[in-house]
A and B are shown apart, each in its own frame.
Chain A
Amino acid sequence: DAGVIQSPRHEVTEMGQEVTLRCKPISGHDYLFWYRQTMMRGLELLIYFNNNVPIDDSGMPEDRFSAKMPNASFSTLKIQPSEPRDSAVYFCASSLTSEDQPQHFGDGTRLSIL
């Protein structure tokens, strides 16, 4: 079975540019999570969805960040405009039925904002 698929794996762009990260969760999983990982702050939950509906976006740093889940098999995390402090590895994860089920992570997108 395919796991969680993220694209791109690496993104390097200049500050001020729009960045779009993509995620395809495991088929049949009802929950989708976006995380950001840095050395300083570890793994932080940004937002999560249940059945395509955003449930908790309290971890989204600021209005420059937005996330959508137009259908059960696709989600995007957008940063506009990007800043150097947004540089991090962004992970998408999905899980079955409820928040306390195991989360299956993608391999992440390593984002560098110059």
Chain B
Amino acid sequence: TQLLKQSPQFLSIQEGENLTVYCNSSSVFSSLQWYRQEPGEGPVLLVTVVTGGEVKKLKRLTFQFGDARKDSSLHITAAQTGDTGLYLCAGLYNFNKFYFGSGTKLNVKP
């Protein structure tokens, strides 16, 4: 059973387009992290959100934590080919263990 469901599973867009990926659960998380993983490498942390309703921006990336701390979204503005990768959300459950979502595989075409 996967605690965190990510959607869409795959996304292929043209450079310059905007996109949003989602991370949803029926469970409440103490905090939530977003990672990006490139082929042949391990995931790299992008951001941690802790407070319900929190919004964080990282250049063209905007992260939001749901008010009830059960879901999160990642919005990318004007996607670039360098944004291509697997985006993973990870929720800290019960203050003691992280669970990873299944990921959204993003392909940005030139």
Residue in chain B with minimal CB distance to A55: B96
Q: Provided the pairs A45-B97, A45-B99, A108-B42 are in contact, do residues A102 and B33 lie with their beta carbons within 8 angstroms? A: yes
Give chain A nearest CB distance to B45 CB in angstroms. Answer: 4
Chain B CB within 8 A of A114 CB: no
Question: Is the beta-carbon distance between B42 and A99 smaller than 8 angstroms?
Answer: no
Expressed in whole angstroms, the Cα–Cα distance for A91 and B43 within the complex equals 9
Expressed in whole angstroms, the Cα–Cα distance for A112 and B48 within the complex equals 33
Number of interface residues of A (CB under 8 A): 19
Task: Give residues of chain A (57-114) contacting chain B, Cβ–Cβ below 8 Å.
Answer: 91, 93, 99-100, 102-108
Instruction: Give the contacting residue for A43; candidates B31, B45, B88; CB below 8 A.
Output: B88
Name A's B-contacting residues (CB within 8 A).
Answer: 4, 35, 42-45, 48, 56, 91, 93, 99-100, 102-108
Name B's A-contacting residues (CB within 8 A).
Answer: 2, 30-31, 33, 40-45, 48, 88, 90, 92, 95-103
The 9 closest A-B pairs by CB, nearest first: A105-B42, A43-B100, A42-B102, A102-B45, A100-B92, A105-B43, A91-B42, A107-B41, A106-B42
